[in-house]
Amino acid sequence: MNHLIVSYSVGLATVGCALIAFYAIAKVWKSGGFRVSTRKRLFSIIETAALAQHAVLYVVRIGRRYYALAGASGNVTVICELVAADVEAESVT
């Protein structure tokens, strides 16, 4: 009987510690503590524009190149590669 109480107490303490750890991680995550600068990422979405209910136009950066992509229900299509100087000039203004 005494062993059972100790076992439940240890289990409850373990679950409590896990919940506290998850709460702390979620709080740091929400405040942006885990975010990495977009300059270090290989892929980032620069701009989005909804064209219709299920159609979206994206400007994305992959490495040092920029692309215009169209997304619709269930597919993505590369429209063209964009000139980096044009995209970077627009994002500054």
Q: Please report the pLDDT score of residue 35 as a whole number.
A: 57
In this prediction, residue 69 carries a pLDDT of 92
The DSSP H or E segment spanning 10 is: helix 2-30
Question: Given this model, what pLDDT does residue 34 score?
Answer: 58
Q: Is the pTM of this model over 0.75?
A: no
What pLDDT shows up at residue 77? 86
- C-alpha triplet 61, 66, 69: angle, nearest 5°: 90
- The residues with which 90 forms a beta bridge, in sequence order, are none
| Residue-by-residue pLDDT tens, the chain, 93 positions | 677 888 888 888 888 888 888 888 887 777 666 555 555 678 888 888 988 888 899 999 988 889 999 988 888 888 898 888 878 776 655
